[in-house]
């Protein structure tokens, strides 16, 4: 705990008060009043002193606490109260401390008015020092001066036994006791010392010459009169005649003697100190001069001194060099002249800040005398006098314009560099020698998913899948040994890995960068080639498919640049036509065109170019390797720039096989035509040559019957009749066969066919051939009118079907024949239905066979060709025909027609 005069004085008061209390308790006069004939310190006074002592102890230099304030106010109020008791009848507070009711005793227990006034003054002074304000401290000190004079006089009185100095009522024993006086003096000294830096104590305790003198003179001036008054009071006590004036004169004479001695001593000391000071000042001036010279000679730095207002009062060569101002130009002018106009107020702020912080540094622009700017680094420090009071500033300025320019260039170039890196289409990462990332651009963080901060300082291996990290480190070390720019290598596909552990293919190019410290760093530019690889794969796939398609189609793709006449050929082209390189020319391509075809093809090619047409030609070429003749179909189109042909792009197809097939087909066709002709000739001769004998048989049978009939018996006639009948049947067969073969040879002549009419006609024709009494109910439902076919042929087919329907329903009482159309398997299907004898579905496969019959000639006449002809006709119409039946339950025939007009 630090020693403090304030609290020490408080404690001292408390100790003295406890002695007083002890004195009252044990009836020890010395403790209460020192001597019997002096007034005693009352208990009330003691209490007030104790409270003042406590306040002092609690003082800590700051604002007083609540208890201190309370004690201050209470003490003041109590003191005023008791003071008023002397004049007015009031309840007697001092009775709290005593039981005596005797007025005299009572009065002697009351603190004297001097004591009370002193206490009030002390209380007020303490209150004033309760707030940390210099002005109130001054008032407090004034109060202290006033207050301390009272106990001072009292002590003076005690010592010289001169009662008016300590009491106004000597007869009543009321007065300021010596102990109270001492306590009060201690208290006032304590209050003085509440803040030893302020006011009188500051002066007294400070290092100033005045303070020093006060420390020597004051105790003497204060204490010596006391000693003298005691001496005079004590030595002349026995002489009651010695009056007051003598005592005062004696005291004053002694005092004057001593004071003179003190003044002489003081004068001596002051002279001595002044001399010391003068010497010091001279030394200081010399040193300042030297310092000024040194400062002046410094030309690298501008060193100027400013007064407190910022006016220049010292100017060195450096300042002249840097600013262009001569000392004469600038001295006594504000240093803000050196600052650019727009720095408005900044010079003053700098000075303020220098004062507040002891030093200020600034970097910025300044203006030369000629108006040009320069870049400086300035340090401004305040200058203090010996009392630590600021008296000015020194400003040291370094011209950094050149350095600033270099720096700016550097910054600009760095900025440019960074911008460049940010604007590159690739991710950029810079790695130092230790493989740690020192820089990355936006794209890099986007590509790998790390923020830029997460990159910096991390090993580059974090961007590489774990399994490659080791080998990468080796690569890096290897690279650092022989650093050189390395471009993206298409063949070297590397893998990168993102923060999310997603791998992707990358392409990396490296280039070494040398830092200012000549340390090597590696700039890696990284490109995500996922898309490219995908596209490349797709492209390869596409080309592969193209080649496959070409192979499958026996085609070769080519592109001819019509300017340079250079041709690019697909792989399949060269393999198809026996070339040996993908590069050729028009000459190379046309060189193997078959000689006979060359002129025609060449003409057509050039005509196509000229007329902006597609070029298509079939011709022959000689295989460039084997020389074999190949048939090709060449298709191409041309691209133009306006009218200037640029390119021919086409496919050349090897159609040798087709050609051979075509030739084979042509040959077959020729053969077929020949066969057909033969067949025609055959049927011709059949119709002629086979019929003639038949007619002869019937004719001569008849002739025999007519001319020789009378010689034949019945049996002979019957046999002749059988011969004739069979001949007729034979004739019918021949007719049908001829019809069948004619139909199979004939081509369809298509037109809209009225089926309704055809059925009607067929019915009418066959009905008329039947006996008159035959009952037939013919129902013809509406039929569509948009059927297309060969009406002659369809007439034949329908006639045959109708003939069958009528023929096979002959056994019925009433034949029911119905014609209509329906939908079978989503196809429009016509039908003709009868209620005739029908057929067994087991034999349905024989229905449409030539000469195939399901009924005997005896029951139903016929050749077995009718339905075969029907089927032939319907098939020619791309339709189908089929029958459904059950024996004796009628039959139904369906057919479809699918021909249409194109």
Partner 1 sequence: MIAQEYIEVIYIEDNMADAELAIDSFQEHRMANRIHLLEDGQEALDFFFGERFKELSALPKLIILDLKLPKVDGLEVLTELKKSVLFKDIPIVILTSSNEDSDIRKAYELGANSYIVKPVNFAKFTETIKQLGLYWLLLNKPKKS
Residues at the contact surface with partner 1, assessed by CB under 8 A = 683-685, 687-689, 691-696, 698-703, 724, 727-728, 731, 735, 738
Contact 35, 42 (CB under 8 A): no
Q: How far is the CB of 727 from partner 1 (least distance, A)?
A: 7
Q: How far is the CB of 687 from partner 1 (least distance, A)?
A: 5
**Secondary structure (DSSP) of 198-261:** SHHHHHHHSSSHHHHHHHHHHHHHHHHHHHHHHHHHHHTSS-TT--HHHHHHHHHHHHHHHHHH
Nearer to partner 1, 69 or 733 (CB): 733
Smallest distance, Å, CB 712 to partner 1?
16
Tokens of 421: 């890196």
Least gap, CB of 695 to partner 1 (angstroms):
5
Q: Is residue 461 within 8 Å of residue 435, measured between CB atoms?
A: yes
Of the two residues 783 and 794, which places its CB atom closer to partner 1 in the complex? 794
Q: Which is nearer to partner 1, 612 or 742 (CB)?
A: 742
DSSP 724: H
CB neighbours of 552 closer than 8 A, spacing ≥ 6? none
* Residue owning tokens 């069948």: 740
Give the C-alpha distances (Å, rounded to integers) separating 847 from 6, 212, 854. 148, 158, 7
User: Closest separation between CB of residue 743 and partner 1, Å?
Assistant: 12
The answer to whether 204 and 215 are in contact (CB under 8 A) is: yes
Contact, 899 vs 789, CB < 8 A?
yes
Residue placing its CB nearer to partner 1 in the complex, 243 or 685: 685
Minimal distance, residue 681 CB to partner 1, in Å: 11
Query: Is the Cβ of residue 693 or residue 811 nearer to partner 1 in the bound state?
Result: 693
CB of 694 to partner 1, least distance (A): 5
Give the whole-angstrom CA distance, residue 336 versus residue 768: 141
User: What are the structure tokens assigned to 100, written together?
Assistant: 């005596």
State the residue for tokens 């990332």. 437
In angstroms, the CA 702 to CA 721 distance is: 9
- When the beta carbons of 169 and 694 are compared against partner 1, the nearer one is 694
Strands 566-569 and 555-561: antiparallel
Residue closer to partner 1 by CB (options 514, 684) is 684
Maximum distance among all Cα pairs of the chain, rounded to whole angstroms: 238
The whole-angstrom separation of Cα 62 and Cα 314 is: 43
The DSSP call for residue 169 is B
User: Is the CB of 229 or the CB of 727 nearer to partner 1?
Assistant: 727
Q: Measured from the CB of residue 902, what is the shortest distance to partner 1 in angstroms? A: 27
- Taken in order 560, 564, 565, 571, the sign of the CA dihedral is negative
Distance from C-alpha of 148 to C-alpha of 201, rounded to nearest angstrom? 14
Give the whole-angstrom CA distance, residue 136 versus residue 286: 45
Smallest gap from Cβ 790 to partner 1, in A, equals 15
User: Are 506 and 495 in contact, with CB atoms under 8 Å apart?
Assistant: yes
Task: Say how far residue 616 (Cα) sits from the centre of its chain.
Answer: 58
Q: Whose Cβ is closer to partner 1: residue 390's or residue 693's? A: 693
Q: Do 573 and 652 meet the contact criterion of CB atoms below 8 Å apart?
A: yes
| Least gap, CB of 734 to partner 1 (angstroms) | 8
**Residue 590 or 741: which CB sits closer to partner 1?**
741
CB 126 within 8 A of CB 53: no
**Residue (570 or 727) nearer to partner 1, CB:** 727
Taking alpha carbons only, the member of 799, 839, 824, 845 closest to residue 897 is: 824
Give residues with Cβ within 8 angstroms of 250, minimum separation 6.
Answer: 228, 232
Nearest approach in angstroms of CB 745 to partner 1 is: 11
Q: How far is the CB of 797 from partner 1 (least distance, A)?
A: 18
Nearer to partner 1 by Cβ, of 550 and 683: the residue is: 683
The residue among 21 and 744 lying less far from partner 1, judged by its C-beta, is 744
Bridge partners of residue 305, in order along the sequence: 314, 394
The closest alpha carbon to 430, from 520, 516, 527, belongs to: 520
Give the number of other CB atoms < 10 A from CB of residue 335.
Answer: 24
Any idea which residue has 């200037």 for tokens?
A: 644
Minimum distance between the CB of residue 876 and partner 1, rounded to whole angstroms? 18
Give least dist CB 735 to partner 1, A: 8
In the complex, the smallest distance separating the C-beta of residue 683 from partner 1, rounded to whole angstroms, is: 8
CB-nearer residue toward partner 1: 251 or 683? 683
**DSSP-based three-state secondary structure for 392:** strand
Q: What is the DSSP string of 31-74?
A: HHHSSTTSPPPPHHHHHHHHHHHHHHHH--SSS--HHHHHHHHH
Nearer to partner 1, 262 or 690 (CB): 690
């Amino acid at each position: 705990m630090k020693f403090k005069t304030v609290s020490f004085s408080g404690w001292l008061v408390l100790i003295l008060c406890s002695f007083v209390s002890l004195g009252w308790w044990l009836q020890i006069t010395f403790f209460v009043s020192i001597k019997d004939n002096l007034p005693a310190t009352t208990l009330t006074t003691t209490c007030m002193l104790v409270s003042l002592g406590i306040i002092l102890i609690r003082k800590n230099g700051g604002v007083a606490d609540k208890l201190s304030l309370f004690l201050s106010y209470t003490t003041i109020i109590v003191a005023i109260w008791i003071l008023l008791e002397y004049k007015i009848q009031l309840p007697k507070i001092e009775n709290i401390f005593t039981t005596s009711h005797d007025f005299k005793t009572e009065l002697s227990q009351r603190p004297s008015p001097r004591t009370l006034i002193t206490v009030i003054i002390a209380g007020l002074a303490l209150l004033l020092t309760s707030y940390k304000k210099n002005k109130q401290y001054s008032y407090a000190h004034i109060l202290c001066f006033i207050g301390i004079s009272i106990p001072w006089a009292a002590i003076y009185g005690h010592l010289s036994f001169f009662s008016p100095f300590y009491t106004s009522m000597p007869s009543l024993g009321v007065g300021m006791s010596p102990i109270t006086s001492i306590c009060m003096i201690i208290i006032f000294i304590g209050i003085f010392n509440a803040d030893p830096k302020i006011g009188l104590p500051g002066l007294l305790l400070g290092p100033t010459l005045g303070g020093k003198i006060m420390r020597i003179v004051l105790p003497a001036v204060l204490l010596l009169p006391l000693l003298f008054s005691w001496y005079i009071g004590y030595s002349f006590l026995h002489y009651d005649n010695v009056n007051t004036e003598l005592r005062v004169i004696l005291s004053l004479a002694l005092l004057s003697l001593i004071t003179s001695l003190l003044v002489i001593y003081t004068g001596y000391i002051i002279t001595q100190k002044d001399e010391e000071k003068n010497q010091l000042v001279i030394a200081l001036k010399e040193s300042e001069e030297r310092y000024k010279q040194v400062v002046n000679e410094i030309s690298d730095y501008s060193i100027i001194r400013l007064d407190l207002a910022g006016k220049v009062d010292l100017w060195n060569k450096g300042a002249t060099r840097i600013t262009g101002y001569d000392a004469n130009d600038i001295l006594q002018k504000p240093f803000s002249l050196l600052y650019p106009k727009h720095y408005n107020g900044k010079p003053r702020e700098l000075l303020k800040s220098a004062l507040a912080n002891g030093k200020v540094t600034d970097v910025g622009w300044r203006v030369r005398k000629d108006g040009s700017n320069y870049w400086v680094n300035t340090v401004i420090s305040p200058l203090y006098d010996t009392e630590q009071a600021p008296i000015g500033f020194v400003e040291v300025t370094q011209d950094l314009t050149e350095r600033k320019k270099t720096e700016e260039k550097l910054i600009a170039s760095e900025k440019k560099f960074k911008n460049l890196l940010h604007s590159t289409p690739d991710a950029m990462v810079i790695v130092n020698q230790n493989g740690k990332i020192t820089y990355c651009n936006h794209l890099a963080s986007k590509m790998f998913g790390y923020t830029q901060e997460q990159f910096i300082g991390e090993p580059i291996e974090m961007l590489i899948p774990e399994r490659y990290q080791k080998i990468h480190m080796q690569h890096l070390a290897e690279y650092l040994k022989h650093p050189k720019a390395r471009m993206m290598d298409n063949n070297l596909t590397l893998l990168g890995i993102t923060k999310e552990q997603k791998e992707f293919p990358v392409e990396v190019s490296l280039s070494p960068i040398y830092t200012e410290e000549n340390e090597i760093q590696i700039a890696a530019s990284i490109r995500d080639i996922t898309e490219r690889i995908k596209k490349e794969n797709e492209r390869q796939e596409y080309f592969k498919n193209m080649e496959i398609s070409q192979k499958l189609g026996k085609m070769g793709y080519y592109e001819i640049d019509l300017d340079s006449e250079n041709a690019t050929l697909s792989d399949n082209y060269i393999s198809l036509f026996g070339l040996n390189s993908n590069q050729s020319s028009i000459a190379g391509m046309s060189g193997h065109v078959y000689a006979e075809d060359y002129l025609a093809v060449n003409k057509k090619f050039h005509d196509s170019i000229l007329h902006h047409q597609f070029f298509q030609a079939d011709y022959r070429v000689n295989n460039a390797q084997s020389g074999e003749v190949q048939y090709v179909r060449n298709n191409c189109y041309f691209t133009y720039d306006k009218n200037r042909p640029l390119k021919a792009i086409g496919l050349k197809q090897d159609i040798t096989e087709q050609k051979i097939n075509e030739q084979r087909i042509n040959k077959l066709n020729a053969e077929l035509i020949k066969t057909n002709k033969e067949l025609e000739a055959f049927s011709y001769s059949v119709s002629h040559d086979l019929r003639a004998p038949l007619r002869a048989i019937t004719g001569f049978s008849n002739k025999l019957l007519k001319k020789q009939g009378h010689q034949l018996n019945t049996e002979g006639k019957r046999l002749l009749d059988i011969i004739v009948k069979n001949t007729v049947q034979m004739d019918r067969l021949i007719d049908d066969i001829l019809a069948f073969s004619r139909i199979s040879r004939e081509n369809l002549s298509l037109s809209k066919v009225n089926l309704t009419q055809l059925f009607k006609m067929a019915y009418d024709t066959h009905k008329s051939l039947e006996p008159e009494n035959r009952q037939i109910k013919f129902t013809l439902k509406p039929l569509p009118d948009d059927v297309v076919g060969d009406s002659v042929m369809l007439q034949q087919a329908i006639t045959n079907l109708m003939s069958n329907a009528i023929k096979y329903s002959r056994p019925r009482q009433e034949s029911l024949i119905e014609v209509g159309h329906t939908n079978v398997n989503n196809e429009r299907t016509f039908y003709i239905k009868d209620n005739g004898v029908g057929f067994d579905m087991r034999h349905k496969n024989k229905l449409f066979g030539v000469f195939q019959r399901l009924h005997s000639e005896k029951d139903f006449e016929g050749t077995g060709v009718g339905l075969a002809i029907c089927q032939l006709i319907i098939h020619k119409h791309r339709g189908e025909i089929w029958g459904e039946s059950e024996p004796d339950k009628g039959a139904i025939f369906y057919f479809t027609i699918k021909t249409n007009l194109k």
